[in-house]
């Protein structure tokens, strides 16, 4: 069973369900793989091996449970999802020793479905970054080439799945943080519609943008995980009370006849690396060969999306992060003898540079005299961006384009914060508009040999159809290889 | 837009951060560049546009006003840097 780690989540779930593999064997296979690859990849902040094995033993003693779709499947969680009795750090010194006494709703649902949590994944501190270079603890490396970044902020989740350390992971996506590492690491990453998955127990960065989603090695796996975590939660007033469709039943379409794919001219123009453009064009040709019709559409405000996004995200971040004051949890400076001084010292010592920079910017754009010029202005442009999408979706069913203009870059390549922010150009609009988006691996770049991801975006709550289109394309493109580690 | 290190220090104070001089100067340059970039939103006429603060309509969810105990006191206190079994302890305020 040493090759068990190469199986997809769906394959392993079937093997576990039939008794072909035990839960202990599945957990051991992942732990062995972690031991073999983690020194290079460094995807995980915490490995809960002992607990996972104990849980697997108890599950094996009771036998497979057909009512639990992820029975015995080892999974990893981004370390900003609260896990009862397991450290949850957000990759920040300020939460270095934080052990929640509750589970995030998405975590509860995974556990109820029989999944076994084997670790917590590294990330950019408080999910602020696009490369996982901003973790307070260590940098995660791309399993395809350890000199390169895995993408961020769910880079640990992307790398652990790509490296075969687990069969699926949860990430979160505020401006592309699921799709970026999925693209760089050659896996499937789905950011659901805002409100589709409860955000209860997610340590918030930008509350009106954050969404939890699956990161897996196949589209079917993503559908399987989404099925478990999706749905209304009374504990989250932003979760939406609409029926959850059967995502798996939607899969298996023979071709793409009747599907119209919109190609935004702003996404397919200058600035795309040649190898990225070539891989993406080949996948669009494949969609056409499968019967899809393609039309050019316009997302005319794309150029304004980054400014809009960072104003809103930083404003929300500065507000969300005000709860870290050293009183109820987190790092506290021991020497301050006055309350405000204690807040200030604790926060100054606990937050890293990128977090501090965004708090400063967020505080500035919300401050008296600037609120209308920045935050309110951005909220207005946000509505225009949403209307841009609504208009495009009168002409097409889905939008296809790049996730990023390049394949994974080298560690340390982008040091200027503005330069780093600009790479999110194709992903952030979906967050501002609250729409679902996914990254599907479509091959390796001809020059770099690194994975290229195709982004699909669709109208709100179209995940079932979007997954079915992606699965049809995936099947016809052939399997994505795993990195040679 | 040029932002002075003194201005950044003022904002930092509001955000309860205390940055050293090197960082104030670094952030002043970076924040200025980023705000310059953000100023491009000024090119768009948004006078008649209703702001959109969230993709979903927020409703205030009220549960019944019934006393219930979801968590135990020791659980809630467990992560506190300083507590006495009953309360969070902070430096003296008055």
A399 three-state secondary structure: strand
Q: Taking 60 as the threshold, does the pLDDT of residue A1 lie above it?
A: no
Of A237, A378, A460, the CB nearest to B59: A237
- The greatest distance separating any two alpha carbons of chain B, rounded to the nearest whole angstrom, comes to 57
How many helices (H) and strands (E) chain A has is answered by 15, 11
Per-residue pLDDT tens over the stretch A379-394: 999 999 999 999 999 9
Residues A170-187: what's their mean pLDDT?
A: 98
Question: β-strand A188-191 against A437-444: which pairing, if any?
Answer: antiparallel
- According to the model, what pLDDT value does residue A2 have? 67
With contact defined as beta carbons under 8 Å apart, do A95 and A88 qualify?
yes
| Mean pLDDT value across residues A273-285 | 97
Band (pLDDT 50/70/90 cuts) for residue B1 is confident
Given a cut of 90, whether residue B62 has pLDDT beyond it is no
Q: Are the Cβ atoms of B41 and A361 closer than 8 angstroms?
A: no
pLDDT at site B57: 80
Query: What does the domain layout of chain B look like in residue ranges?
Result: 5-42
Of residues A387, A392, A384, A399, the one with CA closest to residue A436? A399
Rounded CA separation A10/A363 (Å):
45
Q: Residue B41's Cα: distance from chain center in Å?
A: 23
Q: Percentage of chain B surpassing pLDDT 70?
A: 99
Overall number of domains in chain A: 1
Q: What separation in angstroms does the CA of A222 have from each of A21, A207, A217, A429?
A: 21, 23, 8, 22
Task: Give the CATH number of the domain where residue A51 resides.
Answer: 3.90.1300.10
Give the mean model confidence (pLDDT) for residues A248-260.
98
For A231-244, the pLDDT digits (tens) are 999 999 999 999 99
Contacts of A424 (CB under 8 A, 6+ apart): A130, A175, A176, A180, A306, A309
> Do A344 and B40 lie within an 8 Å CB cutoff?
no
Residue A331: the pLDDT is 97
A67 within domain boundaries? yes
Contacts of B31 in chain A (CB under 8 A): 357, 360-361, 364
Percent of chain A at pLDDT exceeding 90: 95
- Average pLDDT estimate for A430-435: 98
How many interface pairs between A and B have CB atoms less than 8 angstroms apart? 165
Residue-level pLDDT at A192: 98
Given a cut of 70, whether residue B87 has pLDDT beyond it is yes
Give the whole-angstrom CA distance, residue A172 versus residue A211.
5
- Range name among A172-186, A210-224, A287-301, B50-64 with the lowest pLDDT average: B50-64
A89-124 pLDDT, tens digit each: 999 999 999 999 999 999 999 999 999 999 999 999
Residues of A serving a catalytic function are: 78, 153, 177
Confidence of residue A326 (pLDDT cuts 50, 70, 90): very high
Write out the residue range of the structural domain in which residue A151 sits.
4-251+456-477
Instruction: Say which of B8, B31, B56 has its CB closest to residue A238.
Output: B56
Residue A343 lies in a domain: no
Phi, psi of A441 (to 5 degrees): -70, 130
Is a pLDDT exceeding 80 seen at residue A303? yes
Question: Does residue A154 fall inside a structural domain?
Answer: yes
Percent above pLDDT 70 for chain A: 100
In this prediction the pTM is: 0.97
Interchain proximity A356–B88, CB inside 8 Å:
no
| pLDDT value at residue A431 | 98
Nearest to B79 among A318, A329, A351 (CB): A329
Confidence at residue A124, expressed as pLDDT on a 0 to 100 scale: 98
Q: Which residue has the tokens 């990430």?
A: A171
Dist CA A327 CA A400 (whole Å): 47
């Amino acid at each position: 069973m040493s090759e068990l780690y190469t199986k997809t989540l769906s394959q392993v779930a079937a093997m576990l369900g039939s008794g072909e593999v035990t839960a202990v064997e599945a957990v051991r296979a992942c732990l062995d793989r972690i031991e073999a690859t983690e020194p290079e990849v460094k995807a995980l902040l915490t490995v809960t091996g002992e607990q996972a094995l104990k849980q697997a033993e108890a599950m094996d003693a009771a036998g497979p449970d057909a009512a639990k779709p992820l029975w015995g499947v080892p999974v990893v969680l981004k370390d900003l999802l609260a896990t009862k009795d397991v450290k949850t750090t957000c990759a920040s010194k300020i939460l270095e020793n934080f052990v929640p006494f509750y589970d995030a709703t998405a975590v509860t649902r995974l556990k109820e479905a029989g999944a076994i949590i084997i670790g917590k994944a590294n990330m950019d501190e408080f999910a602020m970054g696009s490369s996982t270079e901003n973790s307070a603890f260590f940098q995660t490396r791309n399993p395809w080439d350890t000199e390169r970044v895995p993408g961020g902020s769910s880079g640990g989740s992307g790398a652990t799945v790509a490296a075969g350390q687990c069969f699926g992971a949860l990430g979160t996506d505020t401006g592309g943080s699921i799709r970026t590492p999925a693209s760089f690491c050659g896996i499937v990453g789905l950011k659901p519609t805002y409100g589709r998955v409860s955000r209860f127990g997610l340590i918030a960065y930008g509350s009106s943008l954050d969404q939890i989603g699956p990161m897996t090695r196949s589209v079917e796996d993503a559908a399987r995980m989404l099925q478990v975590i999706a749905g209304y939660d009374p504990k989250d007033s932003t979760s939406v009370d609409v029926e959850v469709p059967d995502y798996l039943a939607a899969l298996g379409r023979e071709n793409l006849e009747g599907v119209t794919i919109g190609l935004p001219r702003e996404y397919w123009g200058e600035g795309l690396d040649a190898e990225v453009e070539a891989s993406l064009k080949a996948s669009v040709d494949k969609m056409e060969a499968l019967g899809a019709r393609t039309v050019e559409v316009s997302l005319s405000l794309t150029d304004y999306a980054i400014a809009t996004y960072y104003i809103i995200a930083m404003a929300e971040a500065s507000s969300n992060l005000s709860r870290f004051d050293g009183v109820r949890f987190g790092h506290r400076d021991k020497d301050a003898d006055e309350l405000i001084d204690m807040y200030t010292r604790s926060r100054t010592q606990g937050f890293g540079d990128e977090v501090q920079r965004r708090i400063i910017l967020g505080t500035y754009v919300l401050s008296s005299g600037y609120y209308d010029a920045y935050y309110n202005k951005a909220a207005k442009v946000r509505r225009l961006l949403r209307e841009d999408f609504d208009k495009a979706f009168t002409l097409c069913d889905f939008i296809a384009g790049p996730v990023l203009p390049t394949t994974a870059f080298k560690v340390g390549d982008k040091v200027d914060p503005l330069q780093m922010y600009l790479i999110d150009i194709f992903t952030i609009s979906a967050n501002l508009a609250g729409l679902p988006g996914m990254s599907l691996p479509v091959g390796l770049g001809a020059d770099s040999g690194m994975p290229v991801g195709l982004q699909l975006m669709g109208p709100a709550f179209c995940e079932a159809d979007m997954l079915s289109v992606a699965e049809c394309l995936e099947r016809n493109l052939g399997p994505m290889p795993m990195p040679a580690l | 837009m040029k932002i002075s290190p003194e201005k950044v220090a003022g904002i930092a104070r509001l955000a309860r951060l205390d940055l050293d001089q090197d960082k104030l100067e670094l952030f002043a340059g970076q924040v200025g560049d980023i705000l310059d970039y953000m100023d491009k939103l000024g090119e768009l006429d948004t006078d008649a546009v209703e702001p959109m603060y969230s993709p979903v309509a927020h409703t205030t969810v009220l549960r019944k006003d019934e006393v219930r105990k979801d968590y135990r006191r020791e659980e809630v206190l467990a992560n506190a840097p300083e507590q006495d079994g009953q309360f969070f302890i902070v430096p003296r305020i008055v």
